Amino acid sequence: MLLYIFYFFAVISIYLGLLSLRGGVRFVRYLQKEIAEELGDYTPFVTVFVPCRGVDVGLKENVLSLFAQNYPAYEIIFVSDSADDGAFAVIEAARHAFKKQTGPVISTVVAGHATGSGQKVHNLREAVSFAHPNSRAFVFADTDARPQKFWLRALVAPLQTDSIAATTGYRWFVAARAGFASHLLSVWNAAIASALGARGDKNFCWGGATAIRRDSFEKLNIVARWRGTVSDDFTMTHVLHEAGLPVKFVPHCLTPSFHRTTWTELVEFTTRQLKVTRAYAPHLWKSVFIGSQIFVVTFFGGVLLVAARATLGLTFITPLMFLLLIFAMGAVKSHLRLRAVELVIADERMRTWSTTLAHTCLWPFASLLFLANAWAAAVSRRITWRGITYELKSPTETVILSRE
Residue 338 banded pLDDT, cuts 50, 70, 90:
very high
Q: What is the pLDDT of residue 310?
A: 94
Q: Are 385 and 121 in contact (CB under 8 A)?
A: no
pLDDT of residue 30 exceeding 90: yes
pLDDT of residue 342 exceeding 80: yes
pLDDT of residue 99 exceeding 80: no
Q: What is the pLDDT of residue 346?
A: 85
Q: Are 127 and 120 in contact (CB under 8 A)?
A: no
pLDDT of residue 1 exceeding 90: no
Q: Alpha-carbon Rg of the chain, whole angstroms? A: 22
pLDDT of residue 17 exceeding 80: yes
pLDDT digits (tens, 9 = 90+) for 248-272: 999 999 999 998 899 999 999 999 9
Q: Dmax over Cα atoms in the chain, in whole Å?
A: 76
Q: What is the pLDDT of residue 102?
A: 77
pLDDT of residue 35 exceeding 90: yes
* Residue 339, amino acid: R
Q: Are 402 and 334 in contact (CB under 8 A)?
A: no
Q: What is the pLDDT of residue 187?
A: 97
What is the pTM for the complete model shown? 0.94
pLDDT of residue 290 exceeding 90: yes
- Cα(331)–Cα(337) distance, integer angstroms: 10
- Residue 213 β-bridge partners: 137
| Mean pLDDT over each residue of the chain, to the nearest integer | 94
Q: Are 234 and 204 in contact (CB under 8 A)?
A: yes
